[in-house]
């Protein structure tokens, strides 16, 4: 606890295990996935690449109550076009 927390009754971060037991969380999973696949072509000093990119991350929280869970997911996907010049 820092000086501010000692002088003023500041907020203290609670351990994750304590939060899990208070919220009656049975299980939680955190994941991160990134993939890229494509083709490239090089002509002398010029590079051209075309690829498909997938990036996902999320968390799934399962509670002690049956069939109750929270699921948060963030991701992006799309086609990438890269043009490069080598010296």
Residue 37 is assigned to a structural domain of this protein: yes
The tally of domains found in the chain comes to 1
Cβ atoms within 10 A of the Cβ of 22, count?
9
Residue 1 is assigned to a structural domain of this protein: no
State how far the Cα of 70 lies from the Cα of 30, in Å rounded to an integer. 12
In tens, the pLDDT along 8-22 reads 444 445 555 556 555
In tens, the pLDDT along 55-83 reads 999 888 887 776 777 878 888 999 999 99
| Tokens 């991701």 found at | 75
Residue 4 is assigned to a structural domain of this protein: no
Residue 48 is assigned to a structural domain of this protein: yes
Overall pTM > 0.75: no
Residue 15 is assigned to a structural domain of this protein: no
Residue 6 is assigned to a structural domain of this protein: no
Instruction: Name the residue range of residue 64's domain.
Output: 29-87
């Amino acid at each position: 606890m820092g000086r501010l927390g000692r002088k003023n009754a500041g907020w203290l971060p609670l351990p994750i295990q304590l939060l899990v037991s208070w919220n009656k969380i049975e299980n939680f999973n955190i994941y991160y996935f990134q993939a890229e696949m494509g083709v490239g072509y090089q002509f002398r000093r010029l590079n051209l690449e075309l690829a498909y990119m997938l990036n996902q991350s999320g968390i799934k929280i399962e509670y002690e109550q049956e069939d109750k869970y929270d699921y948060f997911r963030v991701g992006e996907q799309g086609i990438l076009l890269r043009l490069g010049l080598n010296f």
